[in-house]
Structure 1
């Protein structure tokens, strides 16, 4: 399996697209060719739980115990606000700050750190434990602390993942329009056998449509499940959905060594990123096309609306010996 090698270079970010959080809704406004986006998360700092229900729902501990796969040797680039490099539950392999080459790729918002814990929090007897604790996570900071970024910056983050031979790229943000710069980067990464994962969006109650980059055919589009195994109320729906994964009331790491519980399609896509790293660990010959197909075929159950439900145990069982004839 590929291993990431870091490169340093100077980047210029042109602010033509803006990303930001406003509760769990995606708000879009056209002005001076600017489009506003949201990262797909709804934070509730007051609600805390000892364990995340999704861990049991996906049979993560059973899989670790019986299949002995932990994501070892698999690299995951989290394109987001950065990752808290000092959090005791996280080991960040490396990364890059696309926003400013003069600053670190540490997280000054918390969203990227929240995703990192779901994927790869360390089994240290404290806090939480990630789905793939031995995966190599990389912080690709494409969003500022006020959640602003650009299509060009995101494309450069994807290019960094290509240059560093990253296996999986996680993108938990979305917008309404297809942009040529983003589309070109997505297609290039896919041609290099990088698995691309994105959240579908959280504005189902106001403007229910799958957002970009999840809408691209090269990308695995992930919606969010509620604790009852049905679609979380805010999760966008559409024919582009690949799979639905846990996304409601998920406890994970946060800045300053903290933990929070939050809901959103970002968290759902992080579960899938962790699960696919386990699969690549068990069957390194699989391509990005294979992974998407296995996700679909291993989803034995569907929501009441007909969307496939992520089944980690079946994914690994079916995918371990999968061959694309």
Structure 2
């Protein structure tokens, strides 16, 4: 690579590393990393006190230690000198312009020089993992505290974050980890008949479709011609109703497309795994939103005539590893650039934010997409926590689930001031959940949490937009807001309240 002129700061840094014989002495960090347990404790404490954690507020030593305990990949957001506050216009930026190329070249050249100063035999392609093609960030393989300090001191570096650091979940007395990856979607053969209604031409309508007034909305809209983008764990190739039978029964003239950006391999150069669901969560969410109104006794989706674009961005429901963050950010850019997608549904998230994914959310939002995100579903270790990322962002619509009677959140759902809407998805007393499609076959599965609430809300948005195809994102969202049952008063825990599909479609 042709190196650009480095800064005086970096030059001084390199000169200090040279001995009297002009050879380069490898720089060695003279301290041990902070223990992972201490980093986790600090992060969880910040979440408990402030409902958020930001790497920008961590010390250089803590950030570097997290880098060492993770995959040693550092993500740097950049911008040219003189640029400021690009968040609101990130979708308009062309990083192929010379000012942006020069800014990223400088970071890459500096990183290579500094790392080769430590290890002269290090190849350049072992330092530069990726310079993103659309968004202004770079992934670098680094391991030095001095490198972290240097990049955090630069004015043209927007953020510096460890990509692959994951918080270890607390362990209970009986040895269970208090966390759920959301990976289960087996057929439920114990669904009581009171939890669904048989409807023509042979489908099952989940009880929660009536609770949220979806069934009545079908007389006005079924989601025809609206594209929903799903970012999740993919779609099962064995579920015919999301493949060869996507157009069946009363569902016709629509399409399903499947893509994959998630890479499970530890090797950074590996190819994506593909679009197939190994978890079950994505299949269930696709079923809630867009399963056909078929003849085989399976459950019907909210928008059963909508088009579906499924992108596998994760291996499970938590965007915590570097592979998930990369997969989700790529999925958001991909869907943001598709003119046939108006809505993006993300029933996934994490308890603290990631700037790479945040950049991608803002990019898709800037492209006019209406983005729904789950407010959070977890067991007791984070059930105290408010709305998770990316539902906590202003660019997303945060959805949580509540029980049938009154405003009581579901047993594992999060709530908080950043919630925008609620969906009824848990029966009082039995605690039964809505129906969806299992990994294969016609027998429905059941699915809970804010995940199903989010998928339901995305489907309702498709119904509204299909009835009013010329409307903007803001107009569609306002129809949903004005007809939610708490409007015009906004709850500090449940936003505008429960969605009313029929009222929103016909408002």
TM class, shorter-length: 0.7 to 0.9
Deviations 1:48-105 (A, max 9, x none): 24422112112333221x31x1111111111111012442332261121102456431
Normalized per residue, which structure has more helix?
2
Q: Give the drift of 1:256.
A: 2.1
Q: Is the 8 A contact 1:99 1:141 kept in 2?
A: yes
Name 2:214's counterpart in structure 1.
60
Name 1:317's counterpart in structure 2.
506
Name 1:217's counterpart in structure 2.
394
Q: Give the drift of 1:262.
A: 2.4
Hey, what's the Cα distance between the residues in 2 that align with 1:103 and 1:40? 19
Q: Give the drift of 1:41.
A: 8.1
Hey, what's the Cα distance between the residues in 2 that align with 1:238 and 1:291? 23
2:401 corresponds to 1:239: no
Q: Give the drift of 1:304.
A: 11
Aligned residues, how many?
A: 295
Q: Is the 8 A contact 2:423 2:453 kept in 1?
A: yes
More relative contact order, 1 or 2 (CA 8 Å, 6+ apart): 1
Q: Give the drift of 1:108.
A: 1.5
Name 1:93's counterpart in structure 2.
256
Name 2:235's counterpart in structure 1.
83
Instruction: Give ranges in structure 1 of 5+ residues lacking alignment.
Output: 1-10, 21-25, 30-35, 319-325
Name 2:223's counterpart in structure 1.
71
Q: Is the 8 A contact 1:247 1:266 kept in 2?
A: no
Are the structure 2 counterparts of residues 58 and 112 from structure 1 closer, same or farther at C-alpha, using a change threshold of 3 Å?
Answer: same
The alignment's C-alpha RMSD in Å is 3.3
Q: Hey, which bits of structure 1, 4+ residues long, moved more than 3 A?
A: 11-20, 26-29, 36-47, 100-104, 145-149, 203-206, 301-307
For residues 109-148 of structure 1, what are the structure 2 equivalents within 5 Å? Answer: 109-125=279-295, 126-144=297-315
Q: Is the 8 A contact 1:174 1:212 kept in 2?
A: yes
For the residue of structure 2 that corresponds to 1:190, the secondary structure is helix
Hey, what's the Cα distance between the residues in 2 that align with 1:190 and 1:316? 23
For residues 287-306 of structure 1, what are the structure 2 equivalents within 5 Å? Answer: 287-301=472-486
Hey, what's the Cα distance between the residues in 1 that align with 2:480 and 2:182? 21
TM-score by length of 2: 0.53
Name 1:279's counterpart in structure 2.
464
Q: Is the 8 A contact 2:180 2:379 kept in 1?
A: no
For the residue of structure 1 that corresponds to 2:463, the secondary structure is helix
Instruction: Give ranges in structure 2 of 5+ residues lacking alignment.
Output: 1-128, 133-138, 140-161, 172-177, 197-205, 247-254, 264-270, 427-432
Hey, what's the Cα distance between the residues in 2 that align with 1:102 and 1:63? 39
Deviations 1:123-173 (A, max 9, x none): 112211111111111120011269764212111010110222221111111
Deviations 1:228-287 (A, max 9, x none): 353213221111111001332111102122531121000000110100001110112222
Q: Give the drift of 1:301.
A: 3.8
Hey, what's the Cα distance between the residues in 2 that align with 1:276 and 1:191? 18
Are the structure 2 counterparts of residues 262 and 102 from structure 1 closer, same or farther at C-alpha, using a change threshold of 3 Å?
Answer: closer
For the residue of structure 1 that corresponds to 2:394, the secondary structure is coil
Are the structure 2 counterparts of residues 152 and 103 from structure 1 closer, same or farther at C-alpha, using a change threshold of 3 Å?
Answer: closer
For the residue of structure 1 that corresponds to 2:240, the secondary structure is coil
Hey, what's the Cα distance between the residues in 2 that align with 1:19 and 1:48? 37
TM-score by length of 1: 0.80
Q: Is the 8 A contact 1:39 1:172 kept in 2?
A: no
2:372 corresponds to 1:197: yes
Name 1:7's counterpart in structure 2.
none
